[in-house]
Amino acid sequence: MTPPPAIELRRICKSFGPVQANKDISLKVMPGTIHGIIGENGAGKSTLMSILYGFYKADSGEILIGGRETQIPDSQAAIKAGIGMVFQHFKLVENFSVLENVVLGAEDGSFLRPTLARARKHLTDLARDYEMNVDPDAKIEDLSVGHQQRVEILKALYREANILILDEPTGVLTPAEADHLFRILRGLKAEGKTIILITHKLREIMEITDTVSVMRRGEMTDTVKTAETSPQDLAERMVGRKVLLRVDKAPARPGKTVLEVKDLRVTDGQGVERLRGIDLTVRAGEILGIAGVAGNGQSDLLDVLGGIRAATGAVTLNDAALSLSGPGSDARARRRAGITHVPEDRHRLGLILDFKAWENTGFGYQDLPKYCQGLMMDNRALREDTDAKMARFDVRPHDPNLAAKNFSGGNQQKIVLAREIEADPDLLLIGQPTRGVDIGAIEFIHQRIVELRDAGKAILLVSVELDEILSLSDRIAVMFDGRIMGERLPGQTDETELGLMMAGMEGRAA
Ligand SMILES: Nc1ncnc2c1ncn2[C@@H]1O[C@H](COP(=O)(O)OP(=O)(O)OP(=O)(O)O)[C@@H](O)[C@H]1O
């Protein structure tokens, strides 16, 4: 007899005001399988998972866990039903140890309270069984992102989760870390656990899932066996048209040097040298891609050039020296000089989440004559401008008055991109341009970046996605530990060599 589905959703509906995020969704996920969920930005994936995890209450519909109808009013109920969730932004206490984080919230009553020694033993056993080598006493803040994610998984397993939901888990991982995660997931599946994986990366769907469901505009439109589909087929089912999975671009025709950086150095508040003497140039009509594992100085480089962080060294833009500290070195001065900046972290630096889309589209540019009437800001002009940008960048929902926090992650990213790309820079600094962005939008964003290059602009691209670096860059510099390890041409290198250089090894001879 076939067992009941581990999860069955029946006719789930959820609206936010006029936006119907989930429309009549039914889905069955069989036990011991890995089930992928894909869909365009704003398709409703996170909303559906949030309902399953008790963050949102569905307007209507039923949830069955292991064949039994189950109410999930909050995340405690989800945990009780055996569901664990690993979020994109981890929910760990940074200055607590691994053990403390795992136990936190899962303590038994005071009489039954397990000693920490018992909890430690249980955690160590779990970590060993699932090949998750983490030190129970390490502080979270000292762990790599990949290890932090393992702690999140261990936390769910410690609470005896049988169903694990992962929301875009590889967005912040290196290729090696992602491989390790997949080994862990295969191990969990072999133990009979059920896994739901939300991802925009079709390669991952093909590699690890058994079945895959496609969401479009709030509806679950297809569920297929992974073995019976292909990336191209999935892309078309998701977007409703053919999608170019590679970047289509002519060879660069670099012009004069736009950006020249010499011996750039940054020391952080703890006295750690984050940039240790960076030299680089970017010419007009050229994309320089910076590859590297997150945390090796790429963010500091973008922050310095974007006017967010002070540094020493020498930087020129179109042969004019830029101040690197004190007056005239801030973001406003940089914008005036012709540099625009898509920061890596859209929530912290790219948007003010409580502000409306039209306000966010104007940030940093509000004093441009086209947005002013005399001394006052011309809100109408800004709204109209946002309206046009939203149409060009296909931001959904197309509502300039909606607060930034109420757009899905990928649509938030498009708002930032529209603002910075359309500001007509001489130099565009762009960090993780397609993080959390769907495949149709990636194609569009890559085209915009190439168009900007072909219009003679200089582009400095930072990305942890090696295929993005390889397909978009005209030259690639690899950063490790605050230094440039070397430069390569995309046609003369590959992911393996770049991966070695990203880990601090020399790679092949240049
Ligand atoms: N709290 C909220 N208030 C208002 N609207 C919301 C809220 N949360 C989500 N939405 C809307 O619901 C729709 C679905 O969003 P959801 O985050 O589920 O999409 P998603 O498929 O996960 O997208 P992405 O791939 O970009 O993360 C979007 O139109 C979004 O703007």
Query: What is the CA(436)–ligand 1 centre distance, in A?
Result: 12
Q: Which residue has the tokens 């292991």?
A: 66
Same domain, residue pair 162 and 61:
yes
Q: Is the minimum distance from the CB of 44 to ligand 1 under 6 angstroms?
A: yes
Domains: count for the chain: 3
Regarding whether 185 and 159 lie in a shared domain, the answer is: yes
Q: Which helix (H) or strand (E) holds 372?
A: strand 372-373
Residue 52's H or E segment, with its range, is helix 45-52
Same domain, 154 and 35: yes
Centre of ligand 1 to C-alpha 92, Å, is: 24
Q: Are both 303 and 441 inside the same structural domain?
A: yes
Task: Look at residue 347 and tell me if it is in a domain.
Answer: no
Task: Report which residue type is found at 363.
Answer: F
Question: Does 223 contact ligand 1 (Cβ within 6 A)?
Answer: no
Confidence of residue 340 (pLDDT cuts 50, 70, 90): very high
pLDDT for 510: 45
Query: Is residue 465 assigned to a domain?
Result: yes
With a pLDDT cut of 90, the percent of the chain lying above it is 62
Max mean pLDDT range (41-50, 126-135, 247-256, 258-267): 258-267
- Give me the pLDDT at residue 107, please: 61
| Predicted local distance difference test score (pLDDT) of residue 112 | 47
Q: Is 346 a domain residue?
A: no
Are 398 and 430 found together in one domain?
no
The closest alpha carbon to 31, from 196, 222, 182, 150, belongs to: 196
Residue 315 confidence (pLDDT) above 90? yes
pLDDT digits (tens, 9 = 90+) for 43-81: 999 999 999 999 999 999 999 999 999 999 999 999 999
> Domain end: 380, 400, 424, which one?
424
Q: What is the pLDDT of residue 119?
A: 85
Q: How many angstroms is it from 320 CA to the middle of ligand 1? A: 44
Residue 362 sits in the same domain as residue 501: no
**Quick one: 331 and 190 in the same domain?**
no
d(CA 434, CA 413): 8
Task: Please tell me the pTM assigned to this model.
Answer: 0.78
Question: How far apart are alpha carbons 393 and 421 in whole angstroms?
Answer: 11
Q: Which residue has the tokens 């991952």?
A: 204
Choose the weakest-confidence range: 220-234, 237-251, 321-335, 374-388.
237-251
More confident residue, 170 or 387: 387
Considering the domain boundaries, does residue 49 fall inside one?
yes
- Whether the pLDDT of residue 111 is over 50: the answer is no
245 — pLDDT class (breaks 50, 70, 90)? confident
Residue 369 pLDDT exceeds 90: no
For 400-429, what is each residue's pLDDT tens digit? 999 999 998 889 999 999 999 999 999 999
Mutating to test ligand 1, I would choose from 14, 46, 220 the residue with most ligand atoms within 8 A of its C-beta, which is 46
Q: Going by CA atoms, what residue is nearest to atom 10 of ligand 1? A: 406
102/219 same-domain check? yes
> Is the C-beta atom of 21 inside 6 A of ligand 1?
yes
pLDDT tens-digit profile of 462-491?
A: 998 888 999 999 999 999 999 999 999 999
* Pocket perturbation via mutation, ligand 1, pick of 408, 437, 438 by most ligand atoms within 8 A of CB: 408
**CATH number, residue 208:** 3.40.50.300
Contact 207, 34 (CB under 8 A): no
Name the residue type at position 346.
Answer: R
Considering only residues 418 and 131, tell me which one the structure prediction assigns the higher pLDDT: 418
Mean per-residue pLDDT for 132-136? 86
Which residues constitute the domain of residue 331?
244-338+425-510
pLDDT at 499 (0 to 100): 82
Indicate whether 273 and 157 sit together in one domain.
no
Which numbered atom of ligand 1 lies nearest the CA of 40? 25
If one residue of 406, 416, 438, 444 were mutated to test the ligand 1 pocket, choosing by the most ligand atoms within 8 A of its CB, it would be: 406
- Tell me which residue of 72, 54, 73, 74 sits closest to 64, measured CA to CA: 72
Predicted-complex ipTM score: 0.94
Of the residues 239, 254, 280, which one is the last residue of a structural domain? Answer: 239
State mean pLDDT over 12-24: 95
